[in-house]
Amino acid sequence: MSEDVNGADLVLNRVSKQYRAGKVIINEISGRFRPGEATLLYGPNGSGKTTFLRLLSVNTFPSSGEIHYGEIDIHRHPYRYLNHVGLVHDEESLPQHLSATELLEWVLRSRELWSDGSEERIDHLLNHLELDEESRQDEIGTYSTGMRKKAQIAAAFITEPPVLILDEPLRGLDKTATVKVVELLQQAVGRGGILLMASHSRQVSEELFNRVLTFPLSGSELPSGP
């Protein structure tokens, strides 16, 4: 069962990432992300957005510095931290032989969140994303690009996590699906969630975001929100 970290900040303390000598991607960045704060990470490919999100989602380790979620050092205790996180990676990696329904059940059970109302909750979320009832029972490996993206987004949102880390979540979605996902984002932030979303273009109205980080980052302190 997830530990209680309601109201926790996600805090970076002098975090750097260097893949090889002379190539520093993130350079001693400090700052924090607060509950109810939606942050857009904006910039061209290769500017460091994905590396930054990989650090925050424990898909890579910092060369130096630390990141904490509440009292959790996320790289020392990744499983404790990831229990509170919903992820959408730019490079999709879904289990091809599960259906969308089975995937969401697996996510809930793996976090010990399965309950009598879980099946209804899964149906409600997939209905919202307009993944039709027949397709949601098929293997993900048979899905179109847009359907796979919907399944990936549903897996990120099904636990109503307090932290959402999303790398290009709207890529491959049509206008209607984009509107549906934006509604989910607004609801998550309204519940007091921390939202970090990277985008190569400004696909979503910045009215959703109260903070924009422009990459490549400059300086040692993250720009603060309003």
- Higher-pLDDT residue of 166 and 1 is 166
pLDDT at 31: 97
Crossing angle of helices 118-128 and 145-157, in 10° steps, is 140
Reported as a single tens digit per residue, the pLDDT across 202-211 is 656 667 899 9
Domain at 15-214, CATH homologous superfamily:
P-loop containing nucleotide triphosphate hydrolases (3.40.50.300)
Reported as a single tens digit per residue, the pLDDT across 107-150 is 999 999 999 999 999 999 999 999 999 999 999 999 999 999 99
pLDDT at 50: 93
Q: What is the DSSP letter of 117?
A: T
Show me where the domains of the chain are located: 15-214
Mean pLDDT in residue range 46-70: 96
Q: Cα–Cα distance between 78 and 61 in angstroms, integer?
A: 11
Q: Strands 38-42, 23-33: parallel, antiparallel or unpaired by DSSP?
A: unpaired
- Contact present, 93 and 147 (Cβ < 8 Å): no
pLDDT at 110: 95
Reported as a single tens digit per residue, the pLDDT across 26-51 is 999 999 999 999 999 998 888 999 99
- Contact present, 55 and 212 (Cβ < 8 Å): no
Reported as a single tens digit per residue, the pLDDT across 145-198 is 999 999 999 999 999 999 999 999 998 899 999 999 999 999 999 999 999 999
**Residue with tokens 């491959």, as numbered in its chain:** 172
Q: Is the pLDDT score of 88 beyond 90?
A: yes
Q: Strands 64-69, 163-167: parallel, antiparallel or unpaired by DSSP?
A: unpaired
Q: Which of 189, 193, 165, 185 is nearest to 60 (CA)?
A: 165
Q: Cα–Cα distance between 57 and 165 in angstroms, integer?
A: 7
Crossing angle of helices 118-128 and 175-190, in 10° steps, is 130
pLDDT at 3: 67
Q: Cα–Cα distance between 170 and 146 in angstroms, integer?
A: 9
Q: Is the pLDDT score of 55 beyond 90?
A: yes
Q: Is the pLDDT score of 2 beyond 60?
A: no
